[in-house]
Amino acid sequence: MTTLPIVEKPTFVEEDPLDLMDEIDALRKEKNAAILAHFYTDGEIQDIADFTGDSLKLARDAASITNPIIVFSGVHFMGESAKILSPEKTVLVPDLLAGCSLADSCNPHDLKAMQDQLRAEGRDIVTVAYINTTAATKSLCDWIVTSGNAREIIDRVPKDKEILFVPDQHLGRYLQEVTGRKMILWPGSCMVHEMFSKQDLIRAKKNNPESIIMAHPECPQNILEICDFIGGTEKMRQYVVSLKEPQRFLVATEVAMIHALKKIAPQHEYIPVPGIFADTGETCACNRCPHMARNTLQKIRDCLRDGKPEIEWKPYFADAKDVLERSLLK
Ligand code: 13P
Ligand code: SF4
């Protein structure tokens, strides 16, 4: 009889968050690094970051700051965009596996095939991509939008062109409504916003009749149509800060956003809308993005200390650079 080798379970040692924060602080000073964190990362990460923001602000910060090292606490496409806009800087990411269901849904080969097919049919298309795409996909696009600048960019597309919008069908449908432009929509969606259910939201509203429902435009149409306010993460912050009287909000977006809302407008109450399994009716923890959740204080310390993992420059970044600069910086 062969005996199987005994594999020892890796032991995960939880480090004290306060010690980690001190280490991070010392390392960032020593290396002149800046930590950028998206509003969907854990509150403790947002608190130690040098810059927090939505996708648009963080991309602009990455381009304008002078620190030679950036630690991008977010997801892969965000780190990639930072590198593309600032090739001379070292862009470190706490976890290279922090991806995005939207970016995964639109690979460059499929996009190229769709563009070729539409052009072969004689359609005069302009491809507008949400920033939640890989650099390889961006390099095939004419414009890049974020939740913060989408309307303005779509207004720049000549009226006689057809718009192919990738990869978020829900954001695309919402943009069709607010801009009045008909679009060909790619069938992608965000795994977090896709999970909010209308019944659940109606139930939450019944329990809190005086509440204001706010949702990210990545939510499906049936959620958006019962909302009082629709906006990306930065627009949500601007909205809550504009209301001086205490309000109760039902928040249909990634749950870490509540930390950023509480910080800027602590006079209000924020209730996260849970995701729900449509078949069983049970609520789940799916209002937390598993990719954003890969960012931890420990990994931020490690990547600052070790100088890796790093986003390496790839030849196709040059094409993505043109379209990103034109769309986000001009
Ligand atoms: P914004 O912060 O730009 O609204 O983006 C939300 C998002 O889903 C990021 O992945
Ligand atoms: Fe992607 Fe959705 Fe996670 Fe944002 S919240 S990174 S869109 S999967």
Ligand 1 atom index nearest CA of 75: 10
| pLDDT mean over 207-219 | 95
Cβ atoms of residues 204 and 250 within 8 Å: yes
Instruction: Kindly state if the Cβ of 232 falls inside 6 Å of ligand 1.
Output: yes
- Whether 191 lines ligand 2, by a CB cut-off of 6 Å, is yes
Q: What is the mean pLDDT of residues 1-30?
A: 83
Q: How far is the CA of 78 from the centre of ligand 1 (A)?
A: 10
Closest protein CA for atom 7 of ligand 2? 190
The 10s digit of each residue's pLDDT in 176-188 is 999 999 999 999 9
Overall average pLDDT of the 144-155 stretch:
95
Q: Which ligand 2 atom lies nearest to the CA of residue 98?
A: 6
Percent of the residues in the chain that have a pLDDT greater than 70, as a whole number: 93
pLDDT in tens, 263-313: 999 999 999 887 655 555 555 667 899 999 999 999 999 999 999 999 999
Cβ of 169 less than 6 Å from ligand 1: no
* Check whether domain 103-185 has CATH 3.30.70.120, yes or no: no
Please give the pLDDT value at position 200: 83
Q: Are 189 and 221 in contact (CB under 8 A)?
A: no
In the structure, what pLDDT confidence band is assigned to residue 3 with cuts at 50, 70 and 90? low
| Average pLDDT over every residue of 69-96 | 98
CATH topology of domain 17-99+293-312: Rossmann fold (3.40.50)
Residue 2 has pLDDT above 60, yes or no: no
281 — alpha (psi -120 to 50), left (phi > 0) or beta? left
Whether 9 has a pLDDT exceeding 70, the answer reads no
* pLDDT tens digit sequence for 18-51: 999 999 999 999 999 999 999 999 999 999 999 9
Stretch 165-175: mean pLDDT, rounded? 98
| Residue that wins the pLDDT comparison between 116 and 11 | 116
Specify the pLDDT at position 274. Answer: 75
206-210 mean pLDDT: 92
- Considering only 14-23, 70-79, 195-204, which range has the smallest mean pLDDT? 195-204
Q: What's the rounded Cα separation, in Å, for the pair 189 and 178? A: 19
* Cβ of 194 less than 6 Å from ligand 1: no
How long a stretch of residues is the chain?
330
Give the residue from 253, 285, 245 showing the smallest Cα distance to 271.
253
Taking the centre of ligand 1 as the mean of its atom positions, its distance from the CA of residue 233, in whole angstroms, is 6
Rounded mean pLDDT, 92-115:
98
Beta carbons within 8 Å of 23's beta carbon, 6+ residues apart: 301, 305
Question: Which residues on neighbouring strands pair with residue 215, listed in sequence order?
Answer: 230, 252
195 touches ligand 2 (CB under 6 Å): no
Cβ of 189 closer than 6 Å to ligand 2, yes or no, is: no
What's the mean pLDDT in 237-253? 97
Domain span(s) for CATH 3.40.50.10800 in the chain: 17-99+293-312, 103-185, 193-288
pLDDT of residue 11: 66
pLDDT score for 196: 86
Q: Is the pLDDT confidence value at 197 over 90?
A: no
Asked whether 233 lines ligand 1 (CB < 6 A), one says yes
The per-residue pLDDT for 199 is: 84
Tokens of 127: 């491809």
CB of residue 75 inside a 6 A radius of ligand 2: yes
Note the pTM of the prediction, 2 decimals: 0.93
Q: Which CATH class is domain 193-288?
A: alpha beta
Give the pLDDT of residue 286.
73
